[in-house]
Amino acid sequence: MEETRILGIETSCDETAASVVENGRHVLSNEVASQADTHAQFGGVFPEVASRMHIETIYPIVAGALSKAHVGLDSIDAIAVTRGPGLAGSLVVGLNMAKGLAIGSGLPLLGINHLEAHLYSIWLVEDEAEPDFPMLCLIVSGGHTELVLMRDHLTYERLGGTLDDAAGEAFDKVARLLGLAYPGGPAIQEAAESGDPDAFPFPRAWLEGTWDFSFSGLKTAVLREVRSRQPDLEAGVETPRPGLPISDLAASFQEAVADVLVGKTLSAADAFGASEILVAGGVSANRSLRDTFQSKANIPVRTPPLELCTDNAAMIAAVGHWRYLSGQRDALDIDVLPTWPLTGSHSIFR
Ligand code: KG4
Ligand code: ZN
Q: Tell me the per-residue pLDDT of 330-340, one tens digit each, with 9 for 90 and over.
A: 999 999 999 99
How far is residue 178's CA from residue 240's CA, in Å, rounded to a whole number? 9
Q: How far is the CA of 280 from the centre of ligand 2 (A)?
A: 9
* Whether residue 285 has its Cβ less than 6 Å from ligand 1: yes
Type of residue found at 17: A
| pLDDT of the residue at 347 | 43
Tell me if 131 CB under 6 Å of ligand 1.
no
pLDDT (tens digit per residue) in 158-191? 999 999 999 999 999 999 999 998 899 999 999 9
What does the pLDDT look like over 195-243, one tens digit per residue? 999 999 999 999 999 999 999 999 999 999 999 988 776 655 556 577 8
Beta strand pairing call for 109-113 and 135-140: unpaired
- Name which residue sits closest to atom 1 of ligand 1, judged by CA: 282
- Is the CB of 311 inside a 6 Å radius of any atom of ligand 1? yes
**What pLDDT does residue 226 have?**
93
pLDDT reported for residue 345: 58
Measure the CA–CA gap between 310 and 46, rounded to whole angstroms: 18
Rounded CA-CA distance 32/58 in Å is: 10
For 283, which DSSP code? G
CA 229 to ligand 1 center in whole angstroms: 28
Cα separations (Å) of 137 from 113, 116, 123, 264, 268? 15, 10, 13, 11, 10
Average pLDDT over residues 125-149: 96
* Res 50 pLDDT > 90: yes
Q: Mutate which of 118, 121, 122, 171 to test ligand 1's pocket (most atoms within 8 Å of Cβ)? A: 171
pLDDT for the residue numbered 349: 42
pLDDT at 130 over 90: yes
pTM: 0.94
